[in-house]
Structure 1
Amino acid sequence: MALSFLSHCLIGLCALSLFAWAEKECRYLPGDSGWPSIDDWSGLNDTVQGRLIATIPQASVCNSLPYGNYNSTACAELRASWTEAETYVTRPAEMMNPYYQNQSCDPFVTEKPCELGNYAVYSVNVTGQEDVLAAIRFAKEKNVRLVIKSTGHDYNGKSTGKGALSLWMHSLKTLQIIQAYESDTYSGPAVKIGPGIIAGEAYEALANVGYRIVGGECASVALAGGYTSGGGHSMLNTAYGMAADGALEWEIVTAQGEYLVATPQENADLYWALSGGGGGTYGVVLSMTTKIHPDGFISSGALQFTLAGAPNESSFWEAVRLFFEQMPSLVSDRNSLQLEIENNTFDVFGITLPDQNISAVQPLVAPYLEELTRLNISYTFTTNFSATYLDYFASIMGPLPYGPYPPTEIWNNRLVPRSVVLNSTANNLLIDAFKLAVADGTFLVGCNGINVADNEQRKHPDNAVFPAWRDAIASCSLTAFWDFDAALEVNLAVKETLVSVYTPAIEAATPGSGVYLNEIDPWYEGDWKQEMYGVNYHRLLDIKHKYDPDSLFYGHFAVGSDEFTVDGSGRLCKI
């Protein structure tokens, strides 16, 4: 009996030990025994000099419980602005992605209490290195999930997380122009910017002193963060390369609390990883120094035709096929283009010719216009001249600084290799896949036509940009818009069709390519390591383990993310 009793006691002790170990291997959630006390959080707030912000979701103004701040006028105003980027960019912990919002606190779902759900519980309003160090120490000591939010443009929920402490980088709005940057690899103008600077702000500030910068079409995206670290496509890619190709320095705090400057010469492995290997993965970026370019005029064109203006559906889609066939000549030299395909409209709204006379636009497009005439398709074609890149950008992507794009899309991306559009059979398969995807009007296809392959004028630096970009003629995304008036199940069904039907069809038409890791749906079913990082993945993983040996930084589809899982309660757990 004594032995049996002892055995049971030992088994019980082992069970308790295993429970404690399992709990420690998971980040704590509110309600867990190890969750930090109010005094712990108060201590952190003292350390960061009162800059700790407890999350109260802004949509709580539409719910009576539990915050007690229901306001019908404020709720109506929030509903009206819910799809505007400024609603999320300028507030801590708010997330743009309605999938991760999960109707936990939604201005359109008011019959249940407002809950935090996947919102970070607290945010540190970061003003410098010491705030980051304090948050890192706290997260490691208290076993709390740590996330980084610049703007919240984030299709994979990297900038939020249930039970998380968030580093809110919005206040780091530093911008310093360096007229004569000098290094072993570059001599010329540059700008040092903090992660709080969004593209629209950078465009305006630099235009005022005669420069332009490679930045996104979404003006509300922060440049010194996931945008550039993910590669960064732009209307200026063909002229200057990917955004990551222009990066010169990264100022960073690592998970081990080290302050480092990463350049091609100093901490070169970290520089390589940060320049294309994905954001929120290797440390906390305090600033990025990147190339800027003398500003000048932009000549441009816009072309549109519709199904109604075509003799039949077959000729409409033949015209789309011919455009992609001619795309290599359209984006040669320094040119790029932006287009959208719907089931009844083909709209090339930005044929971008940096530093070229307006007289160059018509001859560039003339061979394609001749094909439209041959097909008896009515079209509209206009040309435009802008004195600066800022003027041009604002004319088609304004108003600045935030731009027009709703940040609440359902989105999946594919890079289209140049070889596909140059092969008539492969090009036909691609257009057939696009036609399938837009058929019922739920989705549209948006493409950036670019060329970032090396040439005599432009050599890309050694960095972690996904190699498929160098072979791509376009980055195309299938896009639908979240319906906030519909049931959650309706929107999830749209996502399911996207990842299980339309995406595989486009992948089959673009074998051997991949995706833009910043514009991929969290339900993506492909081999994400290969399709987002390719041959760079194992080197990136080694760098991740070197600078973040305890895996403090996690993001869905980020390097090393398969070392974790999220359990049924939303708890982040080490595998």
Structure 2
Amino acid sequence: MKKLASFLFAILASMYLETKSFYFILLPLGAVATPIASRGSYAPPLFLCETIQLTDETLSRAALSIQNKTISDLFSFGPSFKNLSDAQKLPHSCKLLPGDALWPSDTVWKTFNDLLEGSLIQPEPLAAACYPEWSDYNVETCATITAQWMNSDLHMIDPTSIMSPLYEGRSCMPLGYIYTGSCLQGAYPTYVVNASTVAQIQLAVNFARNSNIRLVVKNTGHDFNGKASGKGALSIWTHWLKDKAYYPSFQAANGYNGPAIKVGAGIQVFEAYEFAKDLGVTVVGGEAITVGLAGGYTAGGGHSPLSSLYGMAADQVLALEVVLADGSFVTATASENPDVYWMLRGGGGSTIGVVVSMTVRAYPKLPTTTVTFNFTIDDTAGPDAFWGAVQAYIDNIETFVDAGTYGYYYLGASAVEVGTDYAGNTDYYFRMESFVAPNMTVTETRELLAPWFNVLDELNVTYNPCHDVWVVAFPQEYVGTDATKFGSRLIPRNVFQDEELRRELFIAHENAIDNGLYILGFQVSGKGIAIEPPTDNAVLPAWRNALAHILVGIEWNPASSWEVVYNSSLYVTDWMDLLRDIAPNSGAYMSEADLLEPNLQEAFYGTNYPRLYELKQRYDPTGLFFALTAVGAEDWEIQVTDPLPNSWNNNGRLCHV
């Protein structure tokens, strides 16, 4: 008994020696780090959360507490690019996954959490509440989740859920939405940092880079290609960075002098709109009001109901605060870190850093008229009249856009007016979700629409235009389904000016519906008529000539096999050749596009790609930031565990090629 007691004491003593340093872990980062003021003369003051930064001094104090250099080194800053050796510039062959021999131990994760002041979470998939094998199982919670599954609000406030689970791997959804009867982790991140300070984001960036773990970033998860998912990933959740500030007179490095608004990375479009409205101004934001303003939306260019007037969301950015891949926190303006400023305005998200906040132009509040209406085959004399009404709209798009307006329309064949039920269905419908006329009265909007409406009247098409408020004009979209896939194309002005090409575009619309596809279309300019677009950002050049952004989608039953997903996906990609042939020198909007887009570097980035790729190698030489459609994606592949080709979703090990 005495020997056993001595043995147990020895074990306990050994455990204490291993872990005792964690009882003396460093003070909260906010107490240790010295608040740092804004460094840029053309950037607004830092938010309080931005003043709490990781420094070499902070890390030295942490190392003294941890008393284990191997562990403390995991949180160190990366060397600058110019100080990297050739060997250090080479990415690891593959990112680690849980269960790998080199995957961080529980002790390391505990240290990480202590440094983060408890903001590290290990969440189960949102729908795990519906499955008895998961600890979150709860019948009442499952019922609530199932009822709200297609509501974007549900996914926004969850640490890992995304709105396009097809690209996560279809691994865990409520029964009725999933093709199996089980719930797996899939590509939902393993750990999440619920970020509230810059220091926490820096720690996460350093830890992921030094530990060779895949890193992703999520605000709302509102991305067509699931960028916020990644098997075995550490995720930085920026959703609660909700600071905002207004500057009635702001002088920017690019020469702009006027009102501006600074928003944290977690601010969503509807929050920015409400803030601006209360101040008597307006900002350029998305049609989907739940999208995060400072994330992939703006980084990808960002089209808006105000784009035909003021250009792209990326055109509005005056300053950025960014944590780069080496862990440094920088201000980016036209004069300070100009390469970062250029790249993150149109060069896509998940490229070289985490945007913590963004300062954008504010414009005077505008009187705006919005119009919504629809017509179906039953409201016409037959197919010829229906399609004649659609063609009349396409014939007038150039006039509508040149007046500074924006239109968002649905076209398909379904008795319930959602998607297209099957190839050959003739339950045609056209729905103008919203026609937005900024700075125009109802009378002026009617006059603008008259040439189209006159054709509808001549064709005896029954329609009832309603002039409604924004909320009615832009309802939240259905999300959470893995049963649809899109391709897209920007259609340039020359197509609408050439009678034959315009006719081909109309025929393509009709062909898509007759072949079981459906269309979400936008009449929009990426140039704007009220201001001159900047020449110092990475927005896809094709946006400047575009008058329409057309998405073509296909649907299948949620219970469908991966074989159906595979064949349907290829069908859309191949069908899009019709639009690529009509507009061969154009491109596609990267945030609402086909993951399988041929020559995607050219399609998503155009002539900007060589410079974007060079900057990617300079600022992120080890490939810490990755997304399937992002700059540098061709250097990596996801070894998908689902029965699909590699890199068709995020459910697999990420490996350098």
| TM-score normalised by structure 2 residue count | 0.78
| 1:436-481 deviation line (CA, Å, top 9, x unaligned) | 22225x5321112122336574333421000000110111112345
Partner amino acid, structure 2, of 1:320:
V
Quick check: 1:364 aligned with 2:448? yes
In 1, Cα distance between equivalents of 2:502 and 2:453: 19
Work out whether residues 301 and 381 of structure 1, in 8 Å CA contact, stay in contact via their aligned partners in 2. Answer: no
Partner amino acid, structure 2, of 1:55:
P
How far is the alpha carbon of 1:73 from its aligned partner? 2.4
Query: Percent sequence identity over matched residues?
Result: 34
| 1:141-162 deviation line (CA, Å, top 9, x unaligned) | 2111111111111222321111
| TM-score normalised by structure 1 residue count | 0.89
Q: Which stretch has the larger CA shift, 221-230 or 442-451?
A: 442-451
SS at match of 1:567: strand
Distance 1:182 1:79, change over 3 A: same
Work out whether residues 26 and 574 of structure 1, in 8 Å CA contact, stay in contact via their aligned partners in 2. Answer: yes
Quick check: 1:137 aligned with 2:211? no
SS at match of 1:571: strand
Write the mapping of 1:346-385 to structure 2, written as runs, cut at 5 A: 346-374=430-458, 376-382=459-465, 384=467
In 1, Cα distance between equivalents of 2:250 and 2:554: 43
In 2, Cα distance between equivalents of 1:557 and 1:229: 13
In 2, Cα distance between equivalents of 1:554 and 1:383: 44
Distance 1:39 1:23, change over 3 A: farther
How far is the alpha carbon of 1:490 from its aligned partner? 3.8
How far is the alpha carbon of 1:384 from its aligned partner? 2.4
| 1:261-306 deviation line (CA, Å, top 9, x unaligned) | 1111111111111000001112110001011212132123334332
How far is the alpha carbon of 1:564 from its aligned partner? 1.0
2:639 corresponding residue in structure 1: 567
In 2, Cα distance between equivalents of 1:162 and 1:458: 43
Work out whether residues 153 and 407 of structure 1, in 8 Å CA contact, stay in contact via their aligned partners in 2. Answer: no
Quick check: 1:549 aligned with 2:588? no
In 1, Cα distance between equivalents of 2:113 and 2:555: 38
How far is the alpha carbon of 1:241 from its aligned partner? 0.8
Partner amino acid, structure 2, of 1:41:
W
Distance 1:492 1:72, change over 3 A: farther
Work out whether residues 321 and 427 of structure 1, in 8 Å CA contact, stay in contact via their aligned partners in 2. Answer: no
Partner amino acid, structure 1, of 2:111:
G
Quick check: 1:438 aligned with 2:513? yes
Partner amino acid, structure 2, of 1:379:
T
The one of 311, 331, 349 equivalent to 1:261 is 331
Distance 1:334 1:110, change over 3 A: closer
How far is the alpha carbon of 1:571 from its aligned partner? 1.1
2:545 corresponding residue in structure 1: 471
Distance 1:365 1:123, change over 3 A: same
Work out whether residues 361 and 383 of structure 1, in 8 Å CA contact, stay in contact via their aligned partners in 2. Answer: no
The one of 107, 121, 129 equivalent to 2:174 is 107
SS at match of 2:154: helix
SS at match of 1:299: strand
2:115 corresponding residue in structure 1: 47
In 1, Cα distance between equivalents of 2:623 and 2:168: 25
| 1:27-62 deviation line (CA, Å, top 9, x unaligned) | 111111111111111111011110001021121111
2:366 corresponding residue in structure 1: 296
Give the count of matched residue pairs: 539
The one of 235, 250, 261 equivalent to 1:166 is 235
2:4 corresponding residue in structure 1: none
The one of 412, 437, 444 equivalent to 1:342 is 412
How far is the alpha carbon of 1:495 from its aligned partner? 2.5
1:17 corresponding residue in structure 2: none
In 2, Cα distance between equivalents of 1:212 and 1:23: 43
Distance 1:520 1:454, change over 3 A: closer
Q: Which stretch has the larger CA shift, 267-276 or 155-164?
A: 155-164
Write the mapping of 1:193-272 to structure 2, written as runs, cut at 5 A: 193-272=263-342
In 1, Cα distance between equivalents of 2:490 and 2:567: 24
Work out whether residues 303 and 381 of structure 1, in 8 Å CA contact, stay in contact via their aligned partners in 2. Answer: yes
Distance 1:490 1:78, change over 3 A: farther
1:509 corresponding residue in structure 2: 582
Partner amino acid, structure 1, of 2:315:
D
Work out whether residues 430 and 510 of structure 1, in 8 Å CA contact, stay in contact via their aligned partners in 2. Answer: no
Quick check: 1:427 aligned with 2:502? yes
In 1, Cα distance between equivalents of 2:298 and 2:597: 25
Write the mapping of 1:276-355 to structure 2, written as runs, cut at 5 A: 276-343=346-413, 344-355=428-439
In 2, Cα distance between equivalents of 1:519 and 1:24: 30
How far is the alpha carbon of 1:394 from its aligned partner? 1.3
Distance 1:482 1:274, change over 3 A: farther
Partner amino acid, structure 2, of 1:189:
P
| 1:69-128 deviation line (CA, Å, top 9, x unaligned) | 322222222111111111211111112212133232221249655321111100000112
In 2, Cα distance between equivalents of 1:404 and 1:559: 28
Partner amino acid, structure 1, of 2:304:
S
In 2, Cα distance between equivalents of 1:568 and 1:394: 40
2:193 corresponding residue in structure 1: 124
For the aligned residues, what is the CA RMSD? 2.1
The one of 589, 602, 617 equivalent to 1:530 is 602
The one of 380, 395, 420 equivalent to 2:472 is 395
How far is the alpha carbon of 1:404 from its aligned partner? 4.0
In 2, Cα distance between equivalents of 1:324 and 1:468: 19
Quick check: 1:69 aligned with 2:136? yes
In 1, Cα distance between equivalents of 2:282 and 2:123: 37
2:163 corresponding residue in structure 1: 96
Partner amino acid, structure 1, of 2:495:
V
Partner amino acid, structure 2, of 1:431:
F
Which blocks of at least 5 consecutive residues in structure 2 are unaligned? 1-89, 414-427, 642-651
2:571 corresponding residue in structure 1: 497
In 2, Cα distance between equivalents of 1:26 and 1:349: 45
Partner amino acid, structure 1, of 2:488:
N
Work out whether residues 409 and 522 of structure 2, in 8 Å CA contact, stay in contact via their aligned partners in 1. Answer: yes
Distance 1:327 1:172, change over 3 A: same
Work out whether residues 241 and 460 of structure 1, in 8 Å CA contact, stay in contact via their aligned partners in 2. Answer: no
| 1:371-419 deviation line (CA, Å, top 9, x unaligned) | 2233x2323243527xxxxxx3212114xxxx34435452221111111
Partner amino acid, structure 1, of 2:589:
Y
Quick check: 1:178 aligned with 2:247? yes
Work out whether residues 121 and 165 of structure 1, in 8 Å CA contact, stay in contact via their aligned partners in 2. Answer: yes
Partner amino acid, structure 2, of 1:43:
T
The one of 65, 70, 85 equivalent to 2:152 is 85
Work out whether residues 454 and 460 of structure 1, in 8 Å CA contact, stay in contact via their aligned partners in 2. Answer: no
